[in-house]
Amino acid sequence: MTTLTEPPAWPLPQGHYFGPAATEEANAACHSGKKEWLHNIKLKLWQQHFREVWDRKLETTGEFDADTQDAVEHVQEAAGWEPSGRLDENTWKVVWTMAPPEERPAAKHAKRKSTTRSAFKRSMNEP
């Protein structure tokens, strides 16, 4: 049984996010790829909680990698949102305040891009 808890405080300024740094390097609101130890610790905290409650396959690296982006998109889909792949304040909170779905809905999975970015995504989608 999943215990829902109060999420830790959002570690970034309002409107900022962790996201795919390779495509958003020039965006000042994107904190991925920055070598700020506190941001890495906070991202690792989210990854650890996702791993403990939602899916054990995610590694806790403290970096916003392809596996983390896949996890973020999974959470956003479970919340009924269009997946952006950005770990924003709302997505941060959902991991603590919403029970993970039993299984990823097949209809939403079918709409996802056919290219697989990571082993985490492949393992999440296997029967």
Using an 8 Å Cβ cutoff, are 33 and 20 in contact? no
State the average pLDDT over residues 104-111: 42
What is the token pair recorded at 31? 């904190």
- Indicate whether 112 pLDDT > 50: no
For tokens 């996702």, the residue is 50
- Indicate whether 114 pLDDT > 70: no
50/44 Cα distance (integer angstroms): 10
For tokens 């056919």, the residue is 114
Tens of pLDDT, residue by residue over 30-88, are: 766 556 677 788 899 999 999 999 988 999 988 888 999 999 999 999 999 999 999 99
User: Taking the CB of residue 51, how many other CB atoms lie within 10 A of it?
Assistant: 15
89/46 Cα distance (integer angstroms): 11
Angle at which helix 37-49 crosses helix 89-97, to 10 degrees, equals 40
* Domain-wise residue ranges, the chain: 37-125
pLDDT tier for residue 121 given thresholds of 50, 70 and 90:
low
**What mean pLDDT is reported for the chain?**
77
Length of the chain equals: 127
State the average pLDDT over residues 1-13: 79
The predicted structure's pLDDT at residue 80: 95
